[in-house]
Structure 1
Amino acid sequence: MLFGVEKFICKACNKPALVKFISFGKMPIANAFLTKETLEKGEFYYNLDVGFCEECKMVQLIEMPPYSKYIVPDDAGKTHYAFFSSTSKFMEKHFAEMAKEAEEKFLDENSQVLDIGSNDGILLKAFKNNKTLGIEPSDNVADVARTQGVETISKFFTEELAGKILAEKGNFKVIFSTNVLLSIIEIGSCMKGIERLLANKGVFITEDPYIPEILEKVSYDQIYDAHVWYFSLTSLSNLFERYGLEVFDAEKQWVHGGSMRVYACRKGDYPKTDRLKKYLQEEKEKDIDTIQPYLELSKKVEQSRIELKALLRKLKDEGKKIVGYAAASKGTIVQNYCDIGRETLEYISDSTPFKQGRFSPGKHIPIVSPEHFHEDNADYALLSAWNHAEEIMQKESEFLKRGGRFIVHYPTPRILEPESTNKPSNNPNSEDFPGVEIKKLNVIANGQGYLFEVVRNDDNLFSGKFGQTLVSELYPGTIKGLHKHSKQTDYTTCIKGNIKYVLVDDSQEPAKIKVLTIGEKNSILVKTPPGYWHGYMPLANEKATVLHLMDRTYNPKKPDTERKDAFAFGDVWTVRPS
């Protein structure tokens, strides 16, 4: 059957406008890790097909497996979920910052906070001055939350449950849903419940994987049974509108391989930000509201499978020992779609005790403890939790020191080198500017001189798009900027001398300003995405040579450049005594 011909009923808007654009074939439940006993009983499989609704623009699974297949009760009737959020220290920091932002922007001491899908209480435990309530249907992780003092209801969130909570607890000023809204099958009932529980001027904050990021990274492993929806701001705006809510702000996040934090309210409660308008315009330019980019994704996914299998086959032919790292849902999808079994991966290392001693869904690869991995002499590890690559590579420094390397499949299959995992969120120079990334350039010097790599096609910060390269020499006292682009991404480094590089985000008041030094004293490459004002000047009364790489060619008839006076945001240029 040709994709794009047969139409299904969209489960978001109930219109016969859902068009299939990709099929991964029969797939097991991604987190249904098997014991020795259950290996013989057989597994549940479903058709992992994905569609795009031409009416409401929502991307979704065509077959949505019931919750009972992946939130499974034990003999005592208690349900279990295989992932504990607090196992990641980076995520703890992320949620603590999220809580702080909500406190500063939306809460007072009498406000209540609700978290839908609260897991082990990782977000709510960060609130010290407000009453909180978690909704978590999995008993095992909810029990952990309760031990930390987080009141938690072990039920699925529905309009009916919202009514009971309203009667007992009243309204909530902020309602969170982090990496959860995409998992709620009856999303209409959920939205009705949220609208009922929101207090006056209340805010619903949701943070989920962002479909344009999946398209760009070809991170198809984020598509699996527990993720039934894949949101753009366009599709979320359409969804919220049907339930009396509207999106008023949004902010890109690095978590889960690229997410969007979305702020919604009752219509008219808060003004829509320029940042939101910019994101919506970007989606329009990328044709996110059409099926075309999704059909293109289908082709890229198939090519990724071919290349990953070829890379692994080559390494095995060379006699290399390959294992898996992290028994994550993402890994289940890659292993089964790419037909990677025990003939390729001898085992999978995972730090979650619940998973150790079990077997991976579909391919039945044994899961072992990190101690086994540390004592072994594997040459390569196929990394499932690639969105935590930096944290993992810091933790597994000994593996890297002895020559071990991690393999990832996105955006194309490749071997990660230790220096190629920079993430903006963990860099103190860029964490306040989503999308801005910084790469430390390694300078190699000897008696003949020195060299340093600037950009590699396997750098995480490099999008893969090349427009042109320029070299400019600046005389002392020259200020270049301020300017910004609506479409173009800039990559900038200073190859001779030093420059002060200024970034400005004026999407909200007051404008945020970040100042960096780039050059011989601090060899870094800065990626500046569209939407940020930026400029630079030489330091120390010396000339500076600057290397620019852009992802678009310059068109003098349609210049993608907006300019401001260099002092539009005050004197950010004068070097002041410390």
Structure 2
Amino acid sequence: MDASCRICSGPVKAFVDLGRQPRGNAFPRAGQVADEFRYQLVVGMCDTCTMVQLMADIPQEVRYHDEYPYHASNSVVHSRHFEGLARHFLDKELTGPDPFIAEIGSNDGVMLATIAAAGVRHLGIEPSTQVAEMSRARGVRVLSQFFDESSAGPIRAEHGPADVMFGANVIAHISHLASVLKGAKKLLGPGGVFVFEEPYLGSVIEQTAFDILYDEHSFVFSVRAIQAAAEPYGLELVDAEPVALHGGSMRYTLGQPGARPVGPGVPALLAAEAAQGLGEHATLEAFARRAERIRDELTALVGSLRAEGRTVVGYGAPAKITTVTNYCGFGPDVIPFVCDSTPSKQGRVVAGSHIPVVTPAVFAESDADYAILFAWNHAEEIMAKERAFAARGGRWLLYVPEVHIV
């Protein structure tokens, strides 16, 4: 499968194929699975700019819909993180006479609620109407549309230049990234910054976190790739900082060229990436082989536990559960249910694998022997909350970075 890079038009070479997959965040009702959307989940890297990207282009209107089920506020860890980040912006960036911040993919207002409470001008740009309404209920001003070059002009005309543009776990989701960068160039003020946090390729490779690959993740960013992507569109990478969320993320800061000094994190991380071999196909192909081995070990372990009469259920239904269950061939005959605290997912099924999503109360009342922790990036938070499961002899089954039982 050949493709051209969405950023620089260079040749993209595939390195992993995770099979036919549905939309990660679809979560249909049991009676709505007959005509599920499917695509071949193949990921490649550009030979020119090293941007890692999906080979298929899934229309954003298919991925983000009125019933989009991800709510950032459901995680205590995430809520605290974004409240802290909002206060950082208030203290360090939004200090002028009439500052303005715009957030791309503002979700349920988890970050902007703190900005709104401080009385600072802001705008959330959120195309999924359900979560946009949740933002508005928290006092956040929201524009329900996608952000790109064409929308940046009208936003600037109404609100003026942005001192801060922000996006969390959304910029890598946008296949038309070039248009987003052009829009950022247009919307940012002379000293403004475009800050975004995304899962980091270095962490994905190191942990063999293959489940981070699904339809919404059009890209998996590295520092080198972001530096290369920003320059043609008149922006400069001025800082990069590791973030603990999602099993290892990176916070990137872009600015107008020459407006700010480049922080020491950028050259240090570029050197670390070179040492890790992130821009080399051999590194990515080794990752693909490890993913295949983890799949085989996980399916074999679950099969042997069931052969012993053990019950294996699932815990947590993030989008990445779709990749894992479909790649491994798990269905409700193998995993009878997965519990999740998100009300909009409960009573539905995991796309493709059709495993029912139930409430945590069902999990608490079950006699499950093992629980696969699909939300492994929230392991500490979940295990602390579900001590009763371990107290009665329940065991956690994880597959990142290796298949193991806790």
Asked if the contact 2:60/2:174 (under 8 Å) is kept, the reply is no
Q: Which moved more, 1:347-356 or 1:330-339?
A: 347-356
Aligned residue type for 2:24: A
Shift of 1:398: 1.0
- In the alignment, which residue of structure 2 is the partner of 1:186? 176
Which position in structure 2 is the counterpart of 1:38? 32
Q: Report the equivalent of 2:385.
A: 395
2:261 is matched with which residue?
271
* 1:339-378 equivalence runs, <5 A: 339-378=329-368
1:243 paired residue among 233, 241, 249: 233
| 1:79-106 deviation line (CA, Å, top 9, x unaligned) | 2211111011110110111122222322
Tell me which residue corresponds to 2:76: 89
- Which structure has more strand as a fraction of its residues? 1
Query: Once the two structures are aligned, what percentage of the paired residues are identical?
Result: 39
What is aligned with 1:13? 8
2:62 matched residue in structure 1: 69
Amino acid at match of 2:68: Y
Which of 96, 109, 113 aligns to 1:125? It is 113
Moved more, 401-410 or 163-172: 401-410
1:356 shift after superposition? 1.4
After superposition, where does 1:362-441 map in structure 2 within 5 Å? 362-416=352-406
| 1:158-213 Cα shifts (integer Å, max 9, x gaps) | 11111111111111101001111001111111111111111121011010000010
1:204 and 1:265 in contact (8 A); partners too: yes
Residues 227-274 of structure 1, C-alpha deviations (whole Å, 9 max, x = no match): 100100000000000111111111101101100011110111111122
| Alpha carbons 1:7, 1:19 under 8 Å: kept | yes
Task: State how far apart, in whole Å, the 2-side matches of 1:355 and 1:93 are.
Answer: 23
- Structure 1 residue 402: Cα displacement: 1.1
Work out whether residues 72 and 110 of structure 2, in 8 Å CA contact, stay in contact via their aligned partners in 1: yes
Match of 2:242 in 1: 252
**2:130 aligned residue (128, 140, 146):** 140
Pairs within 5 Å for 1:288-367:
288-367=278-357
Counterpart amino acid of residue 68 in structure 1: E
Change (3 A) 1:199 1:246: same
- Give deviations 1:30-64, integer Å, cap 9, x for gaps: 1111213313x321100100010001110000002
How far apart in 1 are the matches of 2:62 and 2:237? Answer: 33
Alpha-carbon distance between aligned partners in 1 of 2:242 and 2:119, rounded to the nearest angstrom? 27
Q: Distance in 1 between matches of 2:39 and 2:56?
A: 7
| CA displacement 1:500-558 (0-9 Å, x = unmatched) | xxxxxxxxxxxxxxxxxxxxxxxxxxxxxxxxxxxxxxxxxxxxxxxxxxxxxxxxxxx
Q: Higher relative contact order at CA 8 Å, sep ≥6: structure 1 or structure 2?
A: 2
Q: Give the distance between the partners of 1:100 and 1:338, measured in 2 at CA.
A: 42
Q: 2:102 pairs with 114, 117, 131, which one?
A: 114
1:102 is aligned, of 89, 97, 101, to: 89
One-letter identity of the residue aligned with 1:35:
R
Conserved? CA contact 2:195–2:254, under 8 Å = yes
Q: Report which of the two has the higher share of helix.
A: 2
Separation (CA, whole Å) in 2 of partners of 1:37 and 1:345: 19
Q: What is the CA distance between 1:275 and its match in structure 2?
A: 2.1
Mapped to 2, the partners of 1:123 and 1:183 lie a distance apart of 19
Distance 1:394 1:251 in 2: 28
Unaligned ranges ≥5, structure 2 = none
Q: In structure 2, give the amino acid aligned to 1:29.
A: R
Q: Does 1:24 find its partner at 2:24?
A: no
Alignment of 1:158-173 (within 5 A): 158-173=148-163
Q: Is the 8 A contact 1:56 1:235 kept in 2?
A: yes
Q: Cα offset for 1:328?
A: 1.6
CA contact (8 A) 1:307 1:412 kept: no
Structure 1 residue matching 2:30: 3-state secondary structure = coil
Of the structure 1 ranges 282-291 and 140-149, higher mean CA displacement relative to structure 2 is found in 282-291
For 1:273, what is the secondary structure of its paired residue? coil
Cα–Cα, structure 1 residues 244 and 250, in superposed 2: closer, same or farther, change >3 Å?
same
TM-score where L is the length of structure 2: 0.97
Partner Cα distance (1:80, 1:378) in 2 = 30
Cα distance in 2 for partners of 1:18, 1:99 equals 37
Could you tell me how far apart the structure 2 residues matched to 1:129 and 1:44 are? 43
- CA distance in 2 between counterparts of 1:178 and 1:367 reads 26
One-letter amino acid matched to 1:52: M
Separation of aligned partners in 1, 2:71 and 2:2: 38
Please list every run of 5 or more consecutive structure 1 residues that lacks an aligned counterpart in the other structure: 1-5, 73-78, 417-578
Distance 2:82 2:64 in 1: 24
Deviations 1:286-322 (A, max 9, x none): 1222212111111111111111112111211221111
Q: 1:47 aligns with which of 40, 44, 56?
A: 40
Asked if residue 59 in structure 1 is aligned to residue 75 in structure 2, the reply is: no
Given residue 12 of structure 1, which amino acid in structure 2 is its aligned partner?
A: I
CA distance in 2, matches of 1:276, 1:56: 16
d(CA) in 2 for partners of 1:34, 1:119: 20
What displacement does 1:129 show? Answer: 4.4
Q: Residue 25 of structure 1 aligns to which amino acid in structure 2?
A: G
Counterpart residue number, 1:206: 196
RMSD of Structure 2 on Structure 1 (CA): 1.2
Instruction: Kindly name which structure, 1 or 2, has the bigger radius of gyration based on alpha carbons.
Output: 1
Secondary structure (helix, strand or coil) at the match of 1:80 reads: coil
Inter-partner Cα distance in structure 2 for 1:286 and 1:107: 37
Tell me the distance in 2 between the aligned counterparts of 1:7 and 1:70: 23
TM-score using structure 1 length: 0.68
